[in-house]
Amino acid sequence: MRVCVVGTGYVGLVTGACLAKVGHQVQCVDVRPEVVEAINAGRSPIVEPGLDDILKAGVAEGHFRASLSLQEGMEGAEIVLVAVGTPTTKGDIDLRYVREAAEGIGRTLAGSSAYRVVTVKSTVVPGTTDGLVRTSLETTSGRKAGQFGLCMNPEFLREGCAVEDFLEPDRIVIGQWDERSGDTLAKMYSPFSCPVVRTGLRNAELIKYTANALLASMISFSNQIAMICESLDGVDVDEVFTGVHLDRRLSPVVDGRRVHPGLLAYLKAGAGYGGSCFPKDVLALRQFAQECGVPAPLLEAVMAVNRSRASHLADLVEEPLGGAEGKKVAVLGLTFKPFTDDLRESPALAAVEELLRRGAVVRAYDPEVPPGRTDPHLPSGLELFPNAIDAVREAQAVVLATAWPEFLGLDWGAVCAAMPRPVIVDGRNALKEVQWPHGALYRPIGRRTEV
């Protein structure tokens, strides 16, 4: 099938490249010339494991290319996927890019009688696809839904695992305006073997928000339990959750063997959730609930607990130092999770900003954030270093903020030796097996430590 993907962020680029890999003819459309040029040269503009090889192969084989022209991208396309950003602005979902995409697609539809299925992959609140998107398409094309197809197809891609998640999906959700629309989109997914949910447009939209809000809630719940653990002597949050995880409803026994689902990774204490999805999606769902006249105290609490994590990490640093003013603090890891270069809503950066606010001198190292990188998410006053040892040298405290494998394998004896009196705050509870040298103060999450 011929597929056009509008937008080449994480969702659009991974979707397009993976669809090309399974045999479709794909064109991506973006307004940024440098991104289009990079893609057509076989270079991924984002960091995502496995994406470079798939992208290069797709371009080399002629199955995948990018264009600045929406009309060119849609030429001959049976399906047009809308994969543009939906940020939040003052708590509300910002649909300007979705509207612009829909209007542009509609104008192209006006010049053709061909049947195309316009499919929203962007995360949008219920009522958007059959409201704003349909209205924009009908107004600019002069055609009615049914003369073109309309679907909502949420993505379930984890940054750092997005290629694997797309090629080996656990489910595919097809929200459809009518049977013809859904049948056409289902044909695109015929190479994949997994459960397919065929449902209405609004159900599909809410499935995405519900999935992300549930996972975010599990993270905040775990961090709330961690705070209780830290108030008690002899209690460790990881041991508490080890016992919780063994509930058969969470870790079922299948054929006599215990199965540990990936879902349990979200029932784990740490620095909080971040990234391009959870923060904005929980906020947008809360706002949408309020607009529906539905109180959302649980979502409020999920966000409040998550906001508190930055201050909590700063407290763990500040207590043994007798204050943060003028103290050198090294932060290891800045991206919101390993195996990505994404800094959006990163808990690590939230901790950096809080430490800076308290007067600390903050230096940092991240494998994907080299010195000289310019990014609007990086706070002023933060000094970047080319390696971990340089970042920690003469620091009075170290915060492990992102659990990159590189940090787990560090020579922590050498790290401590580079510090006057080592204080290590483990924001990810990833260093509990380290044998700390005499005199080092190790402070994990969810366990009381004497300072």
For each of the domains in the chain, give its residue range(s) and CATH number, in order of start: 2-199 (3.40.50.720), 207-451 (3.40.50.720)
Residue 442 makes CB contacts below 8 A (sequence gap 6+) with: 424, 426, 431, 434, 436, 449
Task: Report the amino acid identity of residue 157.
Answer: L
d(CA 213, CA 123): 13
- Residue range 394-410, pLDDT digits in tens: 899 999 999 999 999 99
CA 224 to chain centre: 22
- Catalytic pick from 4, 229, 277, 416? 277
What predicted TM-score, i.e. pTM, was given to this entire model? 0.94
Contact, 347 vs 336, CB < 8 A? yes
Task: Report the amino acid identity of residue 408.
Answer: L
- Residue range 104-135, pLDDT digits in tens: 999 999 978 899 999 999 999 999 999 999 99
User: Does the pLDDT of residue 91 top 90, yes or no?
Assistant: no
> Which pLDDT does position 450 carry in this prediction?
83
| Mean pLDDT (the chain, rounded) | 96
- Residue 92's pLDDT band, with cuts at 50, 70 and 90, is confident
> Which pLDDT does position 259 carry in this prediction?
94
- Residue 165's pLDDT band, with cuts at 50, 70 and 90, is very high
d(CA 193, CA 180): 21
Strands 149-152 and 172-176: antiparallel
Residue 125 makes CB contacts below 8 A (sequence gap 6+) with: 93, 205, 209, 284, 285, 288
- Residue range 233-291, pLDDT digits in tens: 999 999 999 999 999 999 999 999 999 999 999 999 999 999 999 999 999 999 999 99
d(CA 400, CA 338): 12
Q: What percentage of the chain reaches a pLDDT higher than 70?
A: 100
Q: Is 277 a catalytic residue?
A: yes
- Residue range 198-249, pLDDT digits in tens: 999 999 999 999 999 999 999 999 999 999 999 999 999 999 999 999 999 9
Task: Report the amino acid identity of residue 427.
Answer: G
Residue 140 Cα distances to 6, 111, 122, 145, 228, angstroms: 17, 11, 20, 12, 56
> Which pLDDT does position 111 carry in this prediction?
78
Q: Is 440 helix (H, G, I), strand (E, B) or coil?
A: coil
